[in-house]
Structure 1
Amino acid sequence: MGYRVVVAGATGNVGREMLNILAEREFPADEIAVLASSRSAGEEVDFGESGRKLKIRNIEHFDPAGWDFALFAIGSEATKVYAPKFAAAGCTVIDNSSLYRMDPDVPLIVPEVNPEAIDGYTRRNIIANPNCSTAQMVVALKPLHDAATIKRVVVSTYQSVSGAGKAGMDELFEQSRNIFVGDQAEAKKFTKQIAFNVIPHIDSFLEDGSTKEEWKMVAETKKILDPSIKVQATCVRVPVFVGHSEALTIEFENELSADEAQKLLREAPGVMLVDKREDGGYVTPVECVGEYATFVSRVRDDSTVDNGIALWCVSDNLRKGAALNAVQIAELLGRRHLQKAA
């Protein structure tokens, strides 16, 4: 006997990816409901590559009673309305928005990093999915922290436009086309031209000069991994369609060499080490698209501190940064608590 699963926001980039991953991983679902707003009700979406079609239902009229999981990819405002209703009906919400991430009664989960934290889900019947840039970073940090205790992380991100949704991807495409034909590259979704440019600004600015995206990386890393870790983040939007990259400098309390770090990362769950130290011996965003792993390359000693290394980290932000992590949370919850699948 399998689960009854809801995917809310099934017409968006992340919702569609959730459906692909549920199919790819053969998630034990007896029934899947796909939800969206009234504008999309009645349309059909693909369930993986099998050719199976699922008809979209209006989330406003959906009764969540009797459903096991709801994977939410509908944004904070809609989540604020629907998540409590689903949770109260006994349907556990796995939410991709930022709404509940820092709620002390809501677990913030990356299954390879803090699976035990999911045990607190019963307080609200809601589980939060972390920010896309945080998720891949903590997967890479976890084995290193366990071995040598991380004191400080300085991270610069190179985040793809898909992190801003379909509108971000459309804007990069349209601006690139317009520039090639000599037309104006008008900025609509982003604050400045994104084609052939980089923008050191993601989300709103805070009083201290950082952005909310940078704050998320700091606060979420502390909640997921260790509250004593200091994090300094600079988040940059780059003209890449899919795949976030990060350059990390990590300082440890205890000695850890680059060679030792490579050995740890090579065996770490969710990590794929590709570090040949030769032309092309590293992973770029284009190569990570469609993959499950968090790829780590360019591992090297940092001579500016007593115990430090630097590395390069790449992942498909629509997968590990969002949809894959949500499905992995559902799998983890099933294993630890529901045990319903055959």
Structure 2
Amino acid sequence: MGYKVVVAGATGNVGREMLNILAEREFPVDEIAALASRKSLGTEVSFGDKTLKTKDIEGFDFTGWDIALFAIGSDATKKYAPIAAKQGCVVIDNSSLYRYDPEIPLVVPEVNPEAVERYKTKNIIANPNCSTAQMVVALKPLHDRAKIKRVVVSTYQSVSGAGKEGIDELWDQTKSIYNPTEEHQPKKFTKQIAFNVIPHIDVFMEDGQTKEEWKMVAETKKIVDPKIKITATCVRVPVFVGHSEAVNIEFEDFLDEDEARDILREAPGVMVVDKRENGGYVTPIECVGDYATFISRIRQDSTIENGLNLWCVSDNLRKGAALNAVQIAETLGNRCLKKG
């Protein structure tokens, strides 16, 4: 016996990935509905070997549906998520709207699966920011062993994190640079993204952080441990899919790099590729379409007493968004909504 599942935002990059991953992982679906805004009404999307026509989210009756995966942005989520939740459907939301609400669990199933059990407070579960999700999968098993004091992370985030407009802008600018008659002024990003890097994701805050950097701090504390000190610099890079992170970790206790490597090899959701030779590491282009968070370049930091450095790469449309949402649904089903 399976579940009645809704995917809201089914025509977007993340919504389509949600449908793909639900099918790939053979999530037990008895019935599925693909929702979109009225302007996308009737658009066809794939679910395994089936083709679904999108329905209008406006006025959709969520009564009797078990789980809704939302990928529609904060504004639309603010309108429709409470409706779905009130009608008895558990919402797993990919936007940032509910992540910092203390009554709503923020979940990465490899890290804090038990948190899904608190869904009943508002019938909503939050999916973390893409850059946070992959990092905490690597941090948690190391934290369990040696207690993390401080994290310094620099991110190298692909344009797909900014949606279809970000992908289109990189593509169009790259082509136009080789054709001087074409326009390549920035629209989605603040500066040219082709052949460039931009140290600015989301809006600036009063203390000089960007909102993306603040998110990584707040979410890591909520998911892993509020005592961890963390500072982030988030950078947009001209890569279509796949976020990368250079992570420096300071522990309370000494952790040898070899032991850290062994711990990460056994950690759920992690794949270690760490050879000290040409090409003995993973880059964003190699992680696309994969479920894993890849860890490379594990090494001691000799400038502090108990420090490690590592390189972390993951498909941001998968682990950073759609995959994590489906994993939350799986965890919810196993722990709370068992059927049959």
TM-score (norm 2): 0.99
Runs (5+) with no aligned partner, structure 2 = none
Kindly indicate whether the alpha-carbon contact (under 8 Å) linking 2:11 and 2:43 is maintained by their aligned counterparts in 1.
Answer: no
Kindly indicate whether the alpha-carbon contact (under 8 Å) linking 2:5 and 2:33 is maintained by their aligned counterparts in 1.
Answer: yes
Asked if residue 293 in structure 1 is aligned to residue 292 in structure 2, the reply is yes
Q: How far 1:184 moved relative to its partner?
A: 3.5
Q: Secondary structure at the match of 2:102?
A: coil
Q: Which residue of 1 aligns with 2:176?
A: 178
Alpha-carbon separation, structure 1, partners of 2:116 and 2:326? 14
Structure 2 counterparts to residues 52-91 of structure 1, below 5 A: 52-91=50-89
Q: Which amino acid aligns with 2:76?
A: A
Alpha-carbon separation, structure 1, partners of 2:43 and 2:176? 31
Give per-residue Cα distances to partners, 1:306-342, cap 9 Å, x unaligned.
00000000000000000000000000000001111x5
Q: Which residue of 1 aligns with 2:272?
A: 273
Asked if residue 129 in structure 1 is aligned to residue 137 in structure 2, the reply is no
Q: How far 1:115 moved relative to its partner?
A: 0.6
Q: Percent identity?
A: 75
Q: How far 1:42 moved relative to its partner?
A: 1.3
Alpha-carbon separation, structure 1, partners of 2:325 and 2:183? 39
Q: Which residue of 1 aligns with 2:155?
A: 157
Alpha-carbon separation, structure 2, partners of 1:153 and 1:197? 26
Q: Secondary structure at the match of 2:241?
A: coil
Q: Which residue of 1 aligns with 2:254?
A: 255
Q: Which amino acid aligns with 1:29?
A: V
Runs of 4+ in 1 over 4 A off after TM superposition: none
Q: How far 1:154 moved relative to its partner?
A: 0.2
Q: Which residue of 2 aligns with 1:115?
A: 113
Q: Which residue of 1 aligns with 2:47?
A: 47
Q: CA RMSD in A?
A: 0.6
Alpha-carbon separation, structure 1, partners of 2:273 and 2:151? 21
Alpha-carbon separation, structure 2, partners of 1:276 and 1:255? 23
Q: Secondary structure at the match of 1:311?
A: strand
Q: How far 1:139 moved relative to its partner?
A: 0.1
Q: How far 1:46 moved relative to its partner?
A: 1.0
Q: How far 1:61 moved relative to its partner?
A: 2.1
Q: Which amino acid aligns with 2:288?
A: V
Q: Which residue of 1 aligns with 2:206?
A: 207
Give per-residue Cα distances to partners, 1:150-191, cap 9 Å, x unaligned.
000000000000000000000000000000112342100000
Q: Which amino acid aligns with 1:93?
A: V
Give per-residue Cα distances to partners, 1:202-244, cap 9 Å, x unaligned.
0000000000000000000000000000010000000000000
Deviates more, 1:262-271 or 1:175-184: 175-184
Q: Secondary structure at the match of 2:230?
A: strand
Alpha-carbon separation, structure 2, partners of 1:283 and 1:102? 32
Q: Which residue of 1 aligns with 2:96?
A: 98
Alpha-carbon separation, structure 1, partners of 2:42 and 2:320? 29
Q: Which residue of 1 aligns with 2:317?
A: 318
Q: Secondary structure at the match of 2:235?
A: strand
Q: Secondary structure at the match of 1:98?
A: coil
How many residue pairs are counted as aligned between the two chains? 339
Alpha-carbon separation, structure 2, partners of 1:203 and 1:256? 35
Q: How far 1:118 moved relative to its partner?
A: 1.1
Alpha-carbon separation, structure 1, partners of 2:51 and 2:276? 45
